[in-house]
A and B are shown apart, each in its own frame.
Chain A
Amino acid sequence: MTKLIKGTTRRGALKTLAGAAAGTAALPLWARYAQAQSSEPIKIGFQQHSTGIGAAYGRWYGRTTEAAVKVINDGGGINGRMIEVIAEDDGTDPKRGAEVVEKFANQHNCDVAFGTLFSHVVIGSSPRAGELKLPYFVVSEGHHVASGMLNRYTLQPGITDVKSQVQAMAPYVSENLGKKVTMIFPDFAFGHDHRDFFSAAIEAQGGEVLEKIAIPPTETSFTKYFPRIPRDTEVLYHVMVGPAVLTFVKELGEFFGPSSPAIFGFIDSLEAVDIASPGLEFLEGTYFWEGNPRYAQADQTEYDKAFRAAVGVDDNGASISDPTDVSTYAHMFGCWETLHVIKHGLEHSGYQGPGDRAKLIEAVEALTDFPEGHAHPQGAKIFNGKTHQVFGHQYISRVENGKLVRVHTTSIEDTLYPDEVDYTTQPL
């Protein structure tokens, strides 16, 4: 006789396993999370302009972000957790930008989103970030953050805004170059910031803007716009973006020939473009605003040196591996500094997971001073928690022998203006 022993059968074992798996899956999310919390990486969604008119910026924002993340991770990460960057291309398109933000929140389960530059993309994406309560750190320069147009979840702690930049330029322009200004700017939010704030700032200095010439950012030929420059212009103020910036500057030179007014430009018109390109010789002796001097200056700080080395940029602001690959040096430090602010905020808020996003916003709002250092190689900054905007030094450079040489540094006070919003009163 054989005794029936109720033992383990393959089928039975499978049943038990399935039950256990189902049980685990049914556990509340926090229980699984609590187990993993110490090793789970901090996920930063990087909204990158890989394609579209912002692609040159996107590439360098990408390299700077990679370098900053490496430095932070090599230094032990954030509260011991590594940073994982999830980059998504937004095509420099506002509609796609909002979708990317949504993906970060719902699909990738990112802790924060970061990195957007072009103002129309920021303006298109920020409302969605606010609805999803996803902290959205932009590196955009636009005045839309500090103007109160956006929401409590959108912050700009790593790069100054256009209003403070142009306000700080106006005194130098009117004292050294002339008082009758003609402005050429791209026809979207960023260009309109230039138009509005520089006009006001130069009038405050006793100057005037004779003509404002708006050019669509996708334009490829420019000579047809230049006849609108009035004859009695003393200073030509230019700022242009997009893939055709080199054409823009070249045609400007061809238009004026030997008899041009003084020229003051924002380096945006030549970001990622070699100043020594053929056709740009006429820029010799003209002035540029620079967010961060592209060429290593005589009094270069050790922080700038370390920053260049980490990102892989030489003393001329071009890639170490390819000297024709010129960086967007005046802007990309913003990614580096923003990531360090995010690290600071995450550490001070005792951040554990997406449930603590509101705590992160409050922690960043409480920050005030960023001293110059390895985390802030562009210079010291003051952060305004109410307007979510940072303020810092601005640089004016002159083209001398085909290189940009810094001739003026503004104080941070030159760039301040009264608050236009208090985001801290908005609910989290």
Chain B
Amino acid sequence: MEFGPHLLLATLEGAVTAAVLALTAVGLSLVFGVMRVVNIAHGEFYMLGAVIAWYVAHMMGGHPALGFFLALVLAPLLVGAIAVLADVIILKRVDYDPERTIVATIGLLYIIQQLTLMTYGPEARPVEAPFNSRIALPWFEWGENGFQFYYPWGLSTTSYKLAVIGAAGVVLLGVWAMMTRTKVGLLMRATQADRDMALAFGIPVERVYALVFGIGAALAALGAVLIVPIQQAHYLMGADPLLLAFIVVIIGGLGSLPGTVLAALFIGLSDGIISVFFSPTLAKILATLLVGLVLVWRPQGLFGTRTA
């Protein structure tokens, strides 16, 4: 394949990765920003979203769109509820102590993963996309007849992949609007700015915490429901998004939503492009290297604010 179409294809693939990554990472970043909790189990909430999507789609039958759209609503709600429960039962009990919450969420990771293995099983199962048509993309060249379009072999995407990118954009806008334009967002930002002061002003901090943990997990689950018709639901699928989400959040700045989204775009696109032209391993190496550099030169992340 020539360079131009090849680059376009790589960019499209990268954009899908970036879209889902942004959703997952924003969830992680939100939890850290407001609660100062490093949620190691975040990848498992993502996995649960995909697995629940499979169950819902499997039980619905009928047109694939029916099950899928139901899953799009149900999976984030259910996963959010599980996360709220985990917050109340576990995180609250360890007083949101930074070290102990890390250990607690590691435990949660294994519990969710192994329970899924015991019930859902070890196989990867597909969820049918609600719509999926192949779209051949044109490319242009300066030939003998001047400027003309043609359809290179293999340069294509699917309508569903484009929809994933669009849907992720809409959800991210929604999160932004919630944080800046609603009362819930105001309470969250107040809690983020100063927990004790917020408490003094009568903000139910514990309920805000539970809500934030639930929303964070629901965002991960939503990302997973979007990706599951492209990939498949598998009990180990949470590991990669967790690693990438951490990379994104560290680069973007822990707790900074715009930083997280930009970093997700950057990491997703570079992952797509580097793995097409060089190798997927190199893409991971470079991303990890970038994390190292950021931690050394700008520990608060590119968009983070230094906390005293």
User: Does B230 have its Cβ within 8 Å of any Cβ on chain A?
Assistant: yes
Complex contact B124–A246 (CB within 8 A) = yes
Select from chain B the residue with minimum beta-carbon distance to A219. B280
Complex contact A257–B237 (CB within 8 A) = no
Q: Which residues of A contact B281 (CB under 8 A)?
A: 216
Q: Which residues of A contact B136 (CB under 8 A)?
A: 257
Q: Which residues of A contact B6 (CB under 8 A)?
A: 227
Complex contact B230–A247 (CB within 8 A) = yes
User: Does A413 have its Cβ within 8 Å of any Cβ on chain B?
Assistant: no
User: Does B72 have its Cβ within 8 Å of any Cβ on chain A?
Assistant: no
Q: How far is the CB of B153 from chain A (nearest CB, A)?
A: 6
Complex contact A246–B126 (CB within 8 A) = yes
User: Does B288 have its Cβ within 8 Å of any Cβ on chain A?
Assistant: no
List A44-63 residues whose CB lies under 8 Å from chain B.
50-52, 55-56, 58-59
A243 in contact with B236 given A55-B122, A220-B231 (CB within 8 Å): yes
Complex contact B117–A51 (CB within 8 A) = yes
Task: Pick the contact of A254: B126, B158, B237, B272 (CB < 8 A).
Answer: B158
Task: Pick the contact of B240: A55, A220, A224 (CB < 8 A).
Answer: A220
Complex contact B1–A221 (CB within 8 A) = no
Q: How far is the CA of A231 from the CA of B240 in the complex (A)?
A: 32
User: Does B9 have its Cβ within 8 Å of any Cβ on chain A?
Assistant: yes
User: Does A279 have its Cβ within 8 Å of any Cβ on chain B?
Assistant: yes
User: Does A278 have its Cβ within 8 Å of any Cβ on chain B?
Assistant: yes
A229 in contact with B124 given A216-B280, A244-B231, A244-B232 (CB within 8 Å): no
User: Does A272 have its Cβ within 8 Å of any Cβ on chain B?
Assistant: yes
Select from chain A the residue with minimum beta-carbon distance to B7. A227
User: Does B87 have its Cβ within 8 Å of any Cβ on chain A?
Assistant: no
Select from chain B the residue with minimum beta-carbon distance to A231. B153
Select from chain B the residue with minimum beta-carbon distance to A53. B236
Q: Which residues of B contact A256 (CB under 8 A)?
A: 153-154
Task: Pick the contact of B128: A51, A56, A244, A278 (CB < 8 A).
Answer: A278
User: Does A277 have its Cβ within 8 Å of any Cβ on chain B?
Assistant: yes
A220 in contact with B153 given A244-B124, A247-B231 (CB within 8 Å): no
Complex contact A221–B231 (CB within 8 A) = yes
Chain A: residues with Cβ within 8 Å of the partner, total of 33
Which of A224, A244, A279 is most buried by chain B, counting CB atoms within 10 A of its CB? Answer: A224
Q: Which residues of A contact B9 (CB under 8 A)?
A: 223-224, 227
Q: How far is the CA of A278 from the CA of B160 in the complex (A)?
A: 14
List B1-51 residues whose CB lies under 8 Å from chain A.
1, 5-6, 9-10, 13, 17
Q: How far is the CA of A224 from the CA of B13 in the complex (A)?
A: 7
Chain B: residues with Cβ within 8 Å of the partner, total of 34
List A141-161 residues whose CB lies under 8 Å from chain B.
none
User: Does B306 have its Cβ within 8 Å of any Cβ on chain A?
Assistant: no
Complex contact A59–B122 (CB within 8 A) = yes
Complex contact A224–B272 (CB within 8 A) = yes
Q: Which residues of B contact A245 (CB under 8 A)?
A: 124
Q: How far is the CA of A28 from the CA of B134 in the complex (A)?
A: 73
Task: Pick the contact of A247: B5, B13, B64, B232 (CB < 8 A).
Answer: B232
Q: How far is the CA of A56 from the CA of B128 in the complex (A)?
A: 20
Q: How far is the CB of A185 from chain B (nearest CB, A)?
A: 15
User: Does A106 have its Cβ within 8 Å of any Cβ on chain B?
Assistant: no
Q: Which residues of A contact B13 (CB under 8 A)?
A: 221, 223-224
Which of A55, A59, A272 is most buried by chain B, counting CB atoms within 10 A of its CB? Answer: A55
Select from chain B the residue with minimum beta-carbon distance to A325. B123
Q: How far is the CA of A256 from the CA of B151 in the complex (A)?
A: 12
Q: How far is the CA of A24 from the CA of B5 in the complex (A)?
A: 80
Which of A56, A59, A223 is most buried by chain B, counting CB atoms within 10 A of its CB? Answer: A223
Q: How far is the CB of A226 from chain B (nearest CB, A)?
A: 6
Q: How far is the CA of A220 from the CA of B236 in the complex (A)?
A: 11
Select from chain A the residue with minimum beta-carbon distance to B17. A221
Q: How far is the CB of B215 from chain A (nearest CB, A)?
A: 26
Select from chain A the residue with minimum beta-carbon distance to B274. A224
Q: Which residues of A contact B128 (CB under 8 A)?
A: 278
Q: How far is the CA of A255 from the CA of B10 in the complex (A)?
A: 13
Complex contact B230–A51 (CB within 8 A) = no
Q: Which residues of A contact B153 (CB under 8 A)?
A: 231, 256, 259
For the complex of A and B, 3 pairs with smallest distance between CB atoms? A55-B122, A243-B124, A227-B1
15 CB-based A-B contacts, threshold 8 Å: A55-B122, A58-B122, A216-B281, A220-B231, A220-B237, A224-B10, A225-B276, A227-B6, A227-B154, A243-B124, A243-B234, A245-B124, A247-B126, A255-B156, A278-B126
User: Hey, which bits of chain A sit against chain B, CB under 8 A?
Assistant: 50-52, 55-56, 58-59, 216, 219-221, 223-229, 231, 243-247, 254-257, 259, 272, 277-279
User: Hey, which bits of chain B sit against chain A, CB under 8 A?
Assistant: 1, 5-6, 9-10, 13, 17, 64, 117, 121-124, 126, 128, 132, 134, 136, 153-154, 156, 158, 230-232, 234, 236-237, 240, 272, 275-276, 280-281
